[in-house]
Structure 1
Amino acid sequence: MSGSPSGGKGGNGHDRPSPCVSRRVNLADLIDTCPVVGRCEIHFDGDKCYIGVVSASLSPKGHVVLCVWRGVGNGEFELVCRIIVMKSTLNAIKGMVDAVVTSSIMELEKIASGRPATSEKSDSEPSVQPV
């Protein structure tokens, strides 16, 4: 992956600055310049919830830069926040997700074999809460 918050090559190899340096971008440009772009929900204090997108790229130091964008109409998105995540944090998140997926697969295998699924979770098992 390439792309950096300070500019550089986009995720597809084009010589274009990373959209994270902008406050407002077009979705097509965002997809063209970031290696990862996906839909997300943005929740603020209170009842406000917006549909947006999150983009991910690597900084020159190897940290993951997540940018959260809120749709403002006509394919345009406004930067809500920029989050720099260190690799160790991402590895911890990946470990948690892997544990949940493994546990879910084991439960499905139990159900498929006719054994009852475990309804109680131990305190050591991570749980995933919907966003």
Structure 2
Amino acid sequence: MTQYLLSVPHDSAEEPTMATMDPAELEAALAATGAILEELMSSGAFVFAGGLMPPSSAVTVEATEASTTRTPGPFVEAPEYLGGFWVIQVADQETALDWAERASRALGGRIEVRAFQDAPSA
């Protein structure tokens, strides 16, 4: 079985958080996400999930030289950012795509699907 990341992209022009969302929109989003989560759990595909704070809350750490730097903000600027995700474990990519389709319908947005790399054989 392979693990897949189902990611939820957000527009970088907006940085919604649960604290700043319209209460009705938040309730609908939580209900939709909860329904997908329940389906994933009951199917046995669920590994873990999370929602991320916006990029403006990030701190980039670089300790590749003698000194360490901590820079407020994301390490890249991009038109979109990762807002949340699910990690699932399923038999194949087609099954992962089916889950992404359900999530996309429920959330009313795009879902990106990427497989985790397998460790090389020794």
Q: Same fold (TM over 0.5)?
A: no
By relative contact order (CA 8 Å, sep 6+), the higher-ranking structure is 2
**TM-score interval, normalised by the smaller of the two chains:** under 0.3
